[in-house]
A and B are shown apart, each in its own frame.
Chain A
Amino acid sequence: MLLFKLAFRNIFRQKRRSLLTVLSMAGGYILCALSFSTTEGSYKNLINLFTLDHTGHIQIHKENYLRRPKIYTNIKDIESISQMLDRRPDIVSHTLRVYAPVLAYSDLGNTPAKLIGIDVDREQTLSRLKEKIKSGSYLSVNMHNSDYSTALIGRGIAETLNLTIGGELVLISQGADGSVANDIFIVQGIVGNKNSKDKSNIFIPLEAAQSFLSMQGRVHEIAIQVDSPDSARKVSISLQEALPELTVSPWQVVEETFYKSMQSDKEGNRVGLLIVVFIIFIGVLNTVLMSVLERTREFGVLKAIGSRPSKIAQLIMLETSLLATISSGIGFVISVPIIAWFTYVGIELEKPIDVGGFMFSHMTGELSTYVLGTPIMIIIGFSFLVSIYPGIKAASIAPTEAMRSH
């Protein structure tokens, strides 16, 4: 306690210098906290955008489907899997999908497209497809009056084939049994805009897709939503154990390219921040060294009366750590309201940013233990590191020489 008192009083000996040191470290804290908040918040938004747009948090496929998608690589026994998923408390919802490349025709011409068969009811619980319909309405399991099944088409296809709501769309593909699949569909709605990820997609009800592709009772993909993107890995490991014959992939694997570029972007940010913090702490090192130099005589006396060299080093480290703790406290108090505003209100971007097809229009931060706690560890950790050299210097002062100094 006395050593703590001694350290605490020592940092108030040079009030102005200590204040400047505290302010620079608190600045470092605020910078780190805001940067972490912005990065985490932005990426959280992006992850939510694409996981809730279509991907889901977890996907189940037949082995190798993600790497080499083929119409024949499909999942059977979907009824029992679906029932098992419905029973699990860690799964919020799931949906079933069928994929196939098709050639789409209208009176005007043709264009290649991606056919996606969706479970009409379940899809609404997992993705934002319904919200992305710009004209027309969502799919219905019931057939159109004309006895043809309905379809949602991407804006790109609508423009290329000059299709409007109620228009006839002819699809040609290859069935899973090797037959030629062709049928007419009625446009029920148009999805997204010509730049969105869905621009070349055609969505039809799952049963219609299974019938069209001759793959009744089978699907290519089961997309799952859990309570948060962070728990995807954990749940997917447990699901993989339950479904050893299939491949269960969290969103980090499904969207591997995005995940890796996000990780490398975060690393880049961290390196940039570390450089800034390093520069701040060079100033702190200078302050601590000055303080040691000024108190050379005092350290000599402390050693003369029986303080071990390690105790002197401990005192210097304690003083620097105290300064860092005070700085972190100040930084914390200033950062919390700023980050809270940024998290709960955020900034509306004048022009939405297109990030890989996802439109990013509202920028928010994140208020979490990681965002507020990591800068504390950085500031205290760095202060500990920069106090090692002055601590050793103070500990190695020879008492006789120190007491000759003034």
Chain B
Amino acid sequence: MSTEKGRAIITTESLCRYYGKGETEVRALDNISVSVEAGEFTAIIGPSGSGKTTLLHLIGGLDNPTKGSVHLSGVNIANMSGSQLSDFRRDHIGFIFQAYNLIPVLSAEENIEYIMLLQGINAKKRKEKVEEMLVKVGLENLGGRRPAELSGGQQQRVAIARAMASQPDIILADEPTANLDSKTGVSLLELMRELNQEQNMTFVFSTHDMKIMERATRLIHIEDGKIVKDERK
């Protein structure tokens, strides 16, 4: 899959996600057509309930659209089976969640290693990669700790390392700084921006956070499930 800069890596066409039927139908996303280029640091912004997370979930193949299509580097993920989607997410998409969502019984390094295990990478290479990622996110001495023994910021760093360990084309982050204090949030954003620039990795955030908005290269405004503004800086 190509990640050549300037090339569209995410394309949605007439993407709709409705919940319920008839009078109780809620249009979480309505006719969203958007394209994200490789290497972009994009923020999807909008008020609560506007459809930001739904859009991220559809792009990430975590949910199925009611109508429309999602193409990631030319591959339509809307038609994939459960296992195909799992494999696709494993190899091409990294997720960072608001609540970190690390596996509580695994240490920081095991959390990072897990996704590489799913990819079938051998133990030696996994170990090397884990060490490299821990250095990158500044947790080289804390690899043996379990999530409960780490601060929120440290857990989110582990989550970033986990998302990047599989060397995905796209990283989708759902309100990644919402649970962090301002200083930790800024430091994490700096880290993600660095990784974005160094490795030309495509980042798409859903956020309310002004600090992310300031650093984003593109802002997509959503309201009531529709794109109301799309600005590149």
Query: How many contacts between A and B, using CB within 8 angstroms?
Result: 72
Residues of A within 8 A of B162 (CB): 305
Assess whether A302 is in contact with B62, with CB atoms less than 8 Å apart: no
Pairwise interchain contact B62-A400, C-beta atoms closer than 8 A: yes
Supposing A306-B166, A309-B83, A309-B86 touch, asked if A2 and B101 sit within 8 A by C-beta, the answer is no
The stretch of A3-11, A80-88, A221-229, A255-263 in contact with B is A3-11
- Residue of B57, B63, B87, B103 near A306 (CB, 8 A) is B87
Q: Is the interface of B mostly helix, strand, loop or mixed?
A: helix
Chain A count of residues within 8 A CB distance of the other chain: 25
- Counting CB contacts under 8 A, is B117 at the interface? yes
Q: Is the CB of A305 within 8 A of B62?
A: no
> Given A298-B103, A305-B162, A306-B86, is A403 in contact with B97 using a C-beta cutoff of 8 Å?
yes
CB distance from A129 to the nearest CB of B (A): 69
Partner of B91, one of A10, A306, A311: A306
Given A2-B113, A399-B62: A305 and B90 interface contact (C-beta under 8 Å): yes
- Are A297 and B101 in contact (CB-based, < 8 A)? yes
Contact A309 B82 (CB under 8 A): yes
Known contacts A13-B105, A298-B103; decide if A310 and B83 are in contact (CB<8 Å).
Answer: yes
| Residue of chain A at shortest CB distance from B95 | A304
Q: Which A residues are in CB contact (< 8 Å) with B118?
A: 305-308, 311
Residue of B nearest to A2 (CB): B117
B157 interfacial contact with A, CB 8 Å: no
Do B114 and A308 touch across chains, with their CB atoms under 8 A apart?
no
Residues of B within 8 A of A309 (CB): 82-83, 86
Could you tell me the distance between the alpha carbons of A297 and B90 in the complex, rounded to whole angstroms? Answer: 18
C-alpha spacing A262/B113, complex, angstroms: 57
How many angstroms from the CA of A56 to the CA of B118 in the assembled complex? Answer: 62
Distance between Cα atoms of A308 and B114 in the complex (Å): 13
Known: A2-B113, A2-B117. A305 touches B106 (CB 8 A): no
- B40 part of interface (Cβ distance < 8 Å): no
Within 8 Å by CB of B115, from A3, A305, A308, lies: A305
Is B106 in contact with A400, judged by CB distance below 8 angstroms? no
B39 on the A face (CB < 8 A): no
CB neighbours (8 Å) of B97 from chain A are 301, 403
Tell me if B117 and A301 are in contact (CB < 8 A).
no
**B103 contact set on A, CB distance < 8 A:** 6, 298, 301-302
Contact B95 A305 (CB under 8 A): yes
Task: Give bound CA distance, A154 to B220, whole Å.
Answer: 106
A9 and B90 CA atoms in complex are apart in Å by 23
5 new A-B contacts at CB < 8 Å, known A2-B106, A310-B83, A400-B57: A5-B106, A9-B105, A10-B105, A13-B105, A403-B101
